[in-house]
C-alpha cells in the first residue's frame, strides 16, 4: 500500500502547472488525470486553472513528517477512502510500534460497542499502533487530545467534549495479543451530528499541526506515572462530582461519580453503595453537587461488565 507519487509531490496551496510537470515528470493532461483520481479517492486536492496543490493543513507525509518530534507516527500511511483505519492498521502485519494510519474518509468508521463513527471530509481519523500499554491508555489518550486541542473537557472514559458539552473527539482502544490499536476521531472542520462540535468553531486549526501535537503529547503521557495521569484527568474532566447515569454491559446505574479507581475505573456512589464501573457509557450528566467527595476504603464492588477477550482491563474505550 504505497502512497501515490504524484500526491507526495504536492504542496499546500497552489503551485503553477509548469512546476508540477517538472516535479512529477508528467505532461499536463496526464497530471490532471492523476489529480482527478486522487480527488475521487478522497484526498483534499485543489485543481485550478493556474495550478494545483493540497488544502492547507493536509496531513500528507511531506507535510506531517517534518512536524513530528518523537517516535509515534513513523512509519506513516496516508490514505484517501478506507473502510476503517483500525482495520487497515490491524492488517499491516509487519507494522512496528508507533506506526500510524490516517484516512481522509471512512466508510465503516466505528466507535464504542461497534457504533458507527460518521466520517465526513475535513476531520481527522487515524490509528496508532502501541505495545505494552497499561489500563489507563484511554485516560492518557484523552489527556493528549485535550492538550493538543487546547479546548474542551474530558468525559469518562474516552470523549473530549466542547465547552458546551457537544462531542469534539473520541477514542477507540482494541487489542490483539500484545498489539494495541488506538483509534482517534477528531471533528476538526465538520460536526457530523447535532450532538457533536467541530474544533474550528472555537479556534483556527491546522490539521497536520494538530495531529503532530497529539502524537507528541500522547508519547509524553504514555511515559507518565499512573498517579500523575489520574490527577491530571481529574483536573480536566466533566464527570466527577456530578450525578450521572451509566449504561454498562448488563445494567444501567445511577449515582454520584465520586472518583477514579487505581485502574481508571469510575467510582459511583449509588443508593445501594459504592460501585466500580470498569466499562460503560456515561449517558447523562447532571449538575455538580460535591467538590471533594470522600471514598471510604473497602466499599467498592464491581458494577461494570468486567473484561472481555481482546480488551484491556481498566476503563473501556471501545
Distance CA 201, CA 205 (A): 9
Mean pLDDT, all residues of the chain: 87
> Looking at per-residue confidence, does 281 or 308 come out higher?
281
Give the model confidence (pLDDT) of 229-272 as tens digits. 999 999 999 999 999 999 887 889 999 999 999 999 999 999 99
Give the model confidence (pLDDT) of 165-216 as tens digits. 999 999 999 999 999 999 999 999 999 888 899 999 999 999 999 999 999 9
Question: Mean pLDDT, to the nearest integer, of 135-164?
Answer: 95
Phi/psi at 67 (nearest 5 deg)?
-90, -15
Q: Which domains does the chain have, with CATH numbers?
A: 5-54 (1.10.10), 61-235 (3.30.930.10), 242-302 (2.30.30.100)
Question: Mean pLDDT, to the nearest integer, of 67-87?
Answer: 96
> Going along the chain, which residue ranges are E strands?
15-16, 45-47, 51-54, 76-82, 100-106, 124-131, 153-155, 159-161, 167-176, 179-186, 242-247, 252-260, 266-270, 273-277, 281-288, 301-302
Question: Mean pLDDT, to the nearest integer, of 272-277?
Answer: 92
Residue 132, pLDDT score:
79
Specify the range with the lowest mean pLDDT, choosing from 57-66, 197-206, 253-262, 280-289.
280-289
> Looking at per-residue confidence, does 314 or 181 come out higher?
181
Residue 34, pLDDT score:
95
Q: How confident is the model at residue 28 (pLDDT cuts 50, 70, 90)?
A: very high
Give the model confidence (pLDDT) of 99-114 as tens digits. 999 999 988 655 554 5
Residue 111, pLDDT score:
52
Amino acid at each position: 500500500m504505497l502512497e501515490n507519487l504524484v500526491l507526495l509531490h504536492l504542496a499546500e496551496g497552489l503551485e503553477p502547472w509548469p512546476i508540477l510537470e517538472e516535479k512529477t515528470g508528467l505532461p499536463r493532461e496526464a497530471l490532471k488525470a492523476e489529480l482527478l483520481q486522487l480527488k475521487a479517492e478522497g484526498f483534499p486536492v485543489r485543481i485550478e486553472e493556474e495550478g494545483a496543490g493540497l488544502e492547507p493543513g493536509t496531513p500528507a507525509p511531506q507535510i506531517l513528517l517534518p512536524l513530528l518530534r518523537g517516535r509515534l507516527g513513523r512509519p506513516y500511511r496516508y490514505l484517501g477512502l478506507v473502510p476503517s483505519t483500525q482495520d487497515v492498521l490491524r492488517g499491516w502485519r509487519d507494522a512496528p510500534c508507533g506506526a500510524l494510519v490516517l484516512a481522509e474518509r471512512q466508510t465503516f468508521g466505528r466507535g464504542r460497542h461497534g457504533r458507527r463513527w460518521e466520517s465526513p471530509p475535513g476531520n481527522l481519523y487515524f490509528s496508532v499502533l502501541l505495545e505494552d500499554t497499561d489500563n489507563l491508555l484511554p485516560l492518557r489518550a484523552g489527556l493528549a487530545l485535550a492538550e493538543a486541542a487546547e479546548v474542551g473537557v474530558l468525559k469518562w472514559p474516552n470523549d473530549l467534549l466542547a465547552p458546551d458539552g457537544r462531542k469534539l473527539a473520541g477514542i477507540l482502544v482494541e487489542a490483539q495479543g500484545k498489539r494495541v490499536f488506538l483509534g482517534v476521531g477528531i471533528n476538526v472542520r465538520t460536526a457530523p451530528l447535532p450532538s457533536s462540535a467541530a474544533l474550528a468553531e472555537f479556534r483556527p486549526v491546522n490539521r497536520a499541526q494538530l495531529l503532530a501535537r497529539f502524537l507528541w503529547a500522547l508519547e509524553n503521557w504514555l511515559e507518565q506515572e499512573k498517579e500523575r495521569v489520574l490527577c491530571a484527568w481529574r483536573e480536566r474532566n466533566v464527570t466527577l462530582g456530578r450525578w450521572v447515569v451509566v449504561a454498562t454491559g448488563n445494567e444501567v446505574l445511577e449515582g454520584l461519580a465520586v472518583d477514579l479507581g487505581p485502574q481508571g475505573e469510575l467510582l459511583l456512589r449509588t443508593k445501594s453503595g459504592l460501585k466500580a464501573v470498569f466499562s460503560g457509557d456515561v449517558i447523562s450528566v447532571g449538575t455538580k453537587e460535591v467538590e471533594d467527595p470522600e471514598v471510604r476504603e473497602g466499599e467498592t464492588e464491581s458494577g461494570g461488565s468486567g473484561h472481555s477477550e481482546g480488551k484491556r482491563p481498566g476503563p473501556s474505550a471501545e
